[in-house]
Structure 1
Amino acid sequence: MRQFLAKEWQVEESNPLMTTTEKAKKYSDIINLSIGDPDLPVPAEILEKAAADVLAGYTKYSDPWGYADLRQAIVDFYKEDYGVDIAMENVFVTAAGCAAMSLVLEAVLEEGDEVLLFDPYFSAYDQQVRVPGGVPVCVPCFEFEDWQPSAQRAEQYLSKRTKAMILNTPNNPTGVCYSDKTLHELAEFSKKHDLLVIADDIYTSFVYGGAKFVPIMSLPGMAERTVTVNSFSKNYVMTGLRIGNIVAPGDICRAVKHINECVVYSAPSYSQRAALYALQKRHEYARQIVPEFEKRMAYGAKRIRAIPAFTLSPAAGGIYLFPGIKKTGLTSMEVCQRILDEAHVLMVPGSAFGDAGEGYLRIACTVGVDKMAEAFDRLEKMPLLQGK
């Protein structure tokens, strides 16, 4: 029945990131370091309070914008943590961060509009830009520049159709945190060329070693040209609850509302209540969650640097490590397949994150150190990774 499909979907494309679930079924003893789905449970208090709300009657559609008390908590969060004043009309609650990104792009893009992606980038961006008719334009970043985006290089990729750019810090997949210098240069670049900035801010709690997260919308003149996409999936390990939000100028929020009413109408009531309680004690939960991932990241980096075929630049944030495998002489897909078949460890090839990701692998630190140790013990037994 292929003839009934839109042309966009008549050709099957395999995204290595999106096919890992099937690959994970191949071996019974697989150690899955591919998908960013942390193994830690959602803090029990969040679930208990949300469940009590459900029993109290929070089982109907919410306001399409989201529950008022959740939106107010988001307003308070930005004021208290970053000194940013936003209004309720600037907050819209969505069913997950990915949905938020798709809704925003549908709201702002017209056929042929170009969006700058700093490559390597989260693999979903490409298709999310294309679905509403946009054109992704990749601006390469490089390990020798610590994966920092270059506004100067981005100038070379501008055209009359360039409308927006997507930023992601702490970054998936590289683990880089954008420096103050980088953020200010990108902010000035966006103002100079009248670009919309879409900030994918979903790993904001995961910063290590003195690094810090700064929302680009907090910089002078940026609130009116920035859409911030948030998710509760990572900071509160609430991946399955599918809840997020956007912070944006009112016109964009209203457009997103109209589109979303044709999709899910409102975000899940239970998940919204859980998000509210997560925000109310966010600093306490961060103290529970973030040190565990910092420990895992440090352990993984130590083990990677002990394997001859790997190279690794420091990662100051996020939950991923992005080692280089160019010494093997193989593609990232080939190395991932060898690791899967010989060590029964599942990773994602860097090519899933754009052309600049070729020659690297993404390792998700989503299992405990004991399981990571088992994975690296297996890797160390591979002749390919020992340079033999």
Structure 2
Amino acid sequence: MKHRFLAKRYWNTMTTPMGAVVDLAKQYSDVINLSLGDPDYVTNQEVIQRAFEDAENGHTHYTDSLGDEELRHEIIKYYEEAYEYKVGSKEVMAVVGACHGMYLALEAILDDGDEVIIPAPYFTPYIQQVELVRGKPVILDTYEEDGFQIDINRLKGLINHRTKAIIINTPNNPTGACFSKETLEAVGKVAKEFDLLIIADDIYDAFTFSDPFLPATTMKGMQERTITIGSFSKDYAMTGWRVGYVLAPDFIIQCMRDINEGICFTVPSISQRAAIYALRMRETIQPPMIAEYKKRMYYAYERINAIPNMSVLSPQGSFYLFVNIKKTGLNSVDFCKELLEEAHVLAIPGIAFGGCGEGYIRLACTVGVAALKEAFDRIEKMKVCCAHNLQ
């Protein structure tokens, strides 16, 4: 929107397909919303109760600007127990969700014009986050035929003297792909060869359905050049608490801390208390939730591949399916429009996640199997899905 009171750099900004879904969801009373990645689980009741008790007992003040010391201790303890990986107390910082952590990290490391390589399909805000701190996003396309793994030769071809970092997101939003150990090791080798940083967006680390999750920072020689973004939003159904963390070398954490002095100083104390209890109870909270999402994902996978003109790869992680709709003959925006108008099912067009996402839609399995069944029963009846040989 152009207005004399707005900064000129924002005059040409447009609402993305991701941003538009909130209004679209209100168009029909019976919409089945498979668009946004907000878990349908309510935060564990014991976590809520413990945080409430802590508030009553006086935890309503600012915490240390790096975060509640007890929370940071629990994060350090978690990485040691889960990965036999040691993190120093000055190498972890609580943040107001993963996006806040990503902003602080990018602001800390990028000079104007520095380039950040972003594998696509990508989490939509990455582009704006890099541009917000005056960096330049450089897109590395990945493809379904490669399992959405990173092609190392294409990665190397994008590196120049302005390249500063590579963002990796595994399990991936939107594709659900998990980067293999071989892919992660190869990316790490490139980072060492060209002296680059890795920014690992690990917010779906609990949602892996086959091989165990491997944090990039735990690989040999990677701790000194990896910034890990963690969150309680998905792994503990705590999206509204707005709490996450960053692991990074101490000088990066210190810079982030200084930047945050002028933004929000610290994370809400009550949210940090809740995160402490979530971490302590993770072996109780996570297994049934992950099992339920896995059940939903495989149910959706089977239903999708039984529908003409639609297909999807076998689930690997996250709670997203990146559905191939190329045989319908429609682009992703038009398909999602018909999906909403004809089936009253809301999804995100693949183009929202980068150019190579065209021909796909993203479905979030954040509703139960009964709702998924109703959604796919409706989709099966759509003309564009029943038609044959559209191409």
Equivalent in the alignment of 1:7 = 8
Say yes or no: does 1:177 pair with 2:149.
no
Equivalent in the alignment of 1:263 = 263
Question: What SS does the corresponding residue of 2:123 show, helix, strand or coil?
Answer: coil
Equivalent in the alignment of 2:294 = 294
Equivalent in the alignment of 2:67 = 66
Equivalent in the alignment of 2:325 = 325
The letter for the 2-side match of 1:352 is A
Alpha-carbon separation, structure 2, partners of 1:274 and 1:308: 45
Deviation track 1:84-120 (CA, whole Å, cap 9, x = no partner) reads 1110100000011111111111111111000000010
TM-superposed CA distance for 1:18, in Å, is 1.6
Deviation track 1:315-369 (CA, whole Å, cap 9, x = no partner) reads 2100100110100111111100110111110000011111111110000000000
The answer to whether the Cα contact below 8 Å between 1:148 and 1:182 also exists between their aligned partners in 2 is: yes
Deviation track 1:267-309 (CA, whole Å, cap 9, x = no partner) reads 0111100000010111221112100100000011011011111
Alpha-carbon separation, structure 1, partners of 2:9 and 2:340: 31
The answer to whether the Cα contact below 8 Å between 1:211 and 1:317 also exists between their aligned partners in 2 is: no
Counterparts of 1:228-267 in structure 2, within 5 Å, are: 228-267=228-267
TM-superposed CA distance for 1:261, in Å, is 1.4
Question: What SS does the corresponding residue of 1:139 show, helix, strand or coil?
Answer: strand
Say yes or no: does 1:104 pair with 2:117.
no
Greater displacement, 256-265 / 125-134? 256-265
Alpha-carbon separation, structure 1, partners of 2:171 and 2:285: 19
RMSD (CA atoms):
0.9
Alpha-carbon separation, structure 2, partners of 1:250 and 1:186: 23
| Uncovered stretches (5+) of structure 2, i.e. residues with no partner | none
Say yes or no: does 1:354 pair with 2:316.
no
Question: What SS does the corresponding residue of 2:167 show, helix, strand or coil?
Answer: strand
Equivalent in the alignment of 1:211 = 211
Equivalent in the alignment of 2:30 = 29
TM-superposed CA distance for 1:9, in Å, is 0.7
The answer to whether the Cα contact below 8 Å between 1:94 and 1:100 also exists between their aligned partners in 2 is: yes
Alpha-carbon separation, structure 2, partners of 1:195 and 1:79: 26
Alpha-carbon separation, structure 2, partners of 1:73 and 1:303: 41
Question: What is the count of residue pairs matched by the alignment?
Answer: 387
Alpha-carbon separation, structure 2, partners of 1:199 and 1:25: 35
The letter for the 1-side match of 2:292 is E
TM-superposed CA distance for 1:231, in Å, is 0.6
Equivalent in the alignment of 2:129 = 128
The letter for the 1-side match of 2:122 is Y
The letter for the 2-side match of 1:348 is I
TM-superposed CA distance for 1:149, in Å, is 1.0
> How high is the sequence identity, in percent, across the aligned residues?
44
Say yes or no: does 1:223 pair with 2:226.
no
Tell me the TM-score normalized by structure 2.
Answer: 0.98
Question: What SS does the corresponding residue of 1:199 show, helix, strand or coil?
Answer: strand
The answer to whether the Cα contact below 8 Å between 2:298 and 2:315 also exists between their aligned partners in 1 is: no
Alpha-carbon separation, structure 2, partners of 1:177 and 1:346: 25
The answer to whether the Cα contact below 8 Å between 2:74 and 2:280 also exists between their aligned partners in 1 is: yes
The answer to whether the Cα contact below 8 Å between 1:62 and 1:269 also exists between their aligned partners in 2 is: yes
The answer to whether the Cα contact below 8 Å between 1:233 and 1:240 also exists between their aligned partners in 2 is: yes
The answer to whether the Cα contact below 8 Å between 1:91 and 1:247 also exists between their aligned partners in 2 is: yes
Question: What SS does the corresponding residue of 2:270 show, helix, strand or coil?
Answer: helix
The answer to whether the Cα contact below 8 Å between 1:303 and 1:376 also exists between their aligned partners in 2 is: yes
TM-superposed CA distance for 1:7, in Å, is 2.1
Deviation track 1:155-196 (CA, whole Å, cap 9, x = no partner) reads 111121110010000010111111110010000010001111
Alpha-carbon separation, structure 1, partners of 2:88 and 2:126: 28
Q: Would you identify which runs of 4 or more consecutive aligned residues in structure 1 move more than 4 Å?
A: none
The letter for the 2-side match of 1:337 is K
Alpha-carbon separation, structure 2, partners of 1:211 and 1:327: 31
Alpha-carbon separation, structure 2, partners of 1:246 and 1:19: 29
Question: What SS does the corresponding residue of 1:17 show, helix, strand or coil?
Answer: helix
The letter for the 1-side match of 2:348 is V
Alpha-carbon separation, structure 1, partners of 2:252 and 2:329: 47
| Uncovered stretches (5+) of structure 1, i.e. residues with no partner | none
